């Protein structure tokens, strides 16, 4: 049996080209994005072994923020130090940001055209089914016993019936998980870990027994430097915004709000969407509920992490509020989208660069993982509430006093069956629903 030779060392330029390519092809949500990285980096290029890949992924799953983007950052950092991590993580996001700015402008400038309105009529019911599928997927992975089901039910009741803010639900779930980890450890073991490596694809550049590179070893001085740099990267632009525009200005408030949102994305983008909705729609009025759903649809159809829907929210808010004056609507929207992306993703980079050297000492320790398992269980209840909220606005656009929108209900039912029963991909389902909505609008049935 011939053993494949180890791959040649990878230059920073070669890695940079791959990370740029990945930013344009990373469709399919976190599962699809992680699968693409596994195929490219573990199986085909052999830049990293299966075991080291899964070790990094399991760490990223414990963090708030998009795990696929953080995984790219982690591998880039492991290969080429801080510049490699920053390049990998940034290029995972930038293509999506540019595409969403363009699509958001088309939406705001031409969204009332019959063609665009018809397409979005079909997409909105699909979004309801997609959110429901997310609850089913996360719940199937997490709710392994009655205790976790109870946490999910309690979180749903808290947000649906009592209007409890999402951060309070996260805090309560974390405390419940901490207690559960101490007194019921078997019930609060992490349900989302990806397990151990089962297969080898030949020698890898970063193999199972490759020594940890010098830059990836923990040093207090290095940790202090990263924390100081991160604080400066957050504080300086925030101070400039407050000095130039004032604390109550739209751009300043968006930057502050999405800094908080970035720290609450345990369980993926769907987990933080209720918080984004509460702040962006209810509290600040940056966009409407219908626009929020349209933004989620656009986020599903573009590459990059789904949390990039925040760029759409910011663009619409900056554009609608004329944040830079009535003559600079596009620039206001683009500036808002760029600022919000900066403040949303900055913590993800800091978590990897600061926490990477600590991975070995924290991963698998129940006192760290049990609160996160409980938070993920609570997230399931929050997402179910989000699905019901979207369903209400799609199926009864005038409220329960109005009529049920039967065409939209049929589209939502078809999308749910395709996603849950036949495991269809999100992109084909959105495309089919958009065409169905356009056809119904043109036929005068919707």
* Predicted confidence (pLDDT) per residue in 212-225, tens digit: 888 888 889 999 99
pLDDT reading at 363 higher than 60: no
pLDDT reading at 101 higher than 60: yes
Higher per-residue pLDDT: 76 or 385: 76
pLDDT range class, residue 141, cuts 50, 70, 90: confident
Higher per-residue pLDDT: 152 or 363: 152
pLDDT reading at 196 higher than 60: no
State residue 389's pLDDT score.
80
Cα 168–Cα 169–Cα 173 angle in degrees, nearest 5: 120
Given a contact cutoff of 8 angstroms between Cβ atoms, the answer to whether 316 and 333 are in contact is yes
210: Cβ contacts below 8 Å, ≥ 6 apart: 49, 52, 204
Q: How far apart are CA 89 and CA 108, in angstroms?
A: 29
SS3 445: coil
pLDDT reading at 193 higher than 60: no
State residue 150's pLDDT score.
96
State residue 228's pLDDT score.
97
Q: How far apart are CA 166 and CA 172, in angstroms?
A: 10
pLDDT, tens digit (0-9, with 9 covering 90-100), for 302-352: 888 888 999 999 999 999 999 999 999 999 999 999 999 999 999 999 999
Higher per-residue pLDDT: 395 or 2: 395
Using a cut of 0.75, tell me whether the model's pTM lies above it: yes
Residues 11-18 have a mean pLDDT of 96
Q: How far apart are CA 32 and CA 363, in angstroms?
A: 24
Q: How far apart are CA 117 and CA 123, in angstroms?
A: 10
pLDDT winner (highest mean) among 48-57, 165-174, 230-239, 303-312: 230-239
Pick the closest to residue 245 from 332, 165, 142, 356 (CA basis).
332
SS3 206: strand
pLDDT, tens digit (0-9, with 9 covering 90-100), for 246-275: 999 999 999 999 999 888 766 566 667 878
pLDDT, tens digit (0-9, with 9 covering 90-100), for 403-434: 999 999 999 999 999 999 998 887 788 889 99
pLDDT exceeding 70 applies to what percent of the chain?
91
Across 87-103, b (16+ Cβ under 10 Å) vs e yields bbbbbbbbbbbbbbbeb
Residues 63-74 have a mean pLDDT of 88
């Amino acid at each position: 049996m011939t053993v494949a030779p180890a791959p040649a060392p990878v230059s920073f330029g070669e890695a940079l080209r791959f990370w740029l390519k990945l930013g344009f092809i990373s469709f399919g949500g976190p599962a699809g994005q992680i699968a693409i990285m596994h195929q490219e980096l573990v199986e085909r290029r052999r830049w990293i072994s299966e075991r080291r890949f899964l070790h990094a992924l399991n760490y990223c799953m414990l963090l708030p923020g998009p795990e696929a983007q953080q995984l790219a950052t982690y591998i880039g950092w492991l290969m080429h130090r801080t510049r490699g991590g920053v390049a990998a993580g940034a290029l995972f996001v930038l293509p999506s940001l540019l595409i969403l700015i363009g699509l958001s402008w088309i939406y705001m400038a031409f969204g009332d055209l019959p063609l665009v309105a018809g397409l979005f009529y079909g997409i909105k019911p699909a979004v309801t089914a997609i959110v429901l599928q997310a609850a089913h997927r996360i719940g199937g992975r997490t709710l392994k016993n009655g205790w976790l089901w109870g946490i999910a039910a309690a979180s749903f009741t808290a947000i649906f019936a009592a209007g409890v803010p999402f951060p309070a639900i996260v805090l309560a779930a974390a405390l419940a998980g901490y207690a559960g980890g101490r007194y019921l450890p078997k019930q609060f073991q992490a349900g989302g870990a990806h397990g151990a490596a089962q297969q080898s694809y030949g020698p890898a550049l970063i193999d199972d027994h490759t020594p940890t590179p010098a830059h990836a070893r923990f040093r207090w001085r290095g940790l202090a430097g990263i924390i100081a740099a991160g604080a400066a990267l957050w504080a300086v632009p925030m101070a400039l915004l407050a000095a130039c525009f004032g604390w109550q200005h739209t751009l300043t408030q968006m930057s502050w709000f999405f800094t908080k949102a970035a720290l609450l994305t345990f369980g993926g983008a769907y987990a933080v969407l209720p918080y984004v909705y509460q702040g962006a729609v209810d509290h600040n009025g940056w966009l409407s509920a219908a626009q929020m759903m349209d933004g989620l649809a656009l986020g599903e159809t573009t590459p990059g992490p789904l949390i990039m829907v925040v760029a759409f929210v910011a663009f619409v808010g900056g554009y609608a509020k004329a944040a830079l004056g009535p003559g600079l609507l596009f620039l206001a929207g683009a500036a808002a989208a760029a600022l919000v992306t900066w403040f949303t993703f900055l913590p993800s980079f800091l978590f990897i660069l600061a926490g990477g050297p600590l991975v070995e000492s924290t991963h698998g320790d129940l006192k760290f993982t049990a609160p996160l398992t409980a938070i993920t269980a609570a997230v399931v209840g929050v997402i179910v509430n989000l699905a019901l909220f979207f369903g209400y606005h799609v199926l009864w656009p005038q409220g329960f006093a109005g009529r049920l929108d039967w065409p939209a209900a049929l589209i939502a039912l078809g999308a749910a069956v395709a996603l849950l029963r036949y495991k269809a991909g999100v992109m084909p389902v959105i495309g089919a629903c958009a065409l169905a909505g356009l056809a119904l609008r043109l036929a005068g049935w919707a």
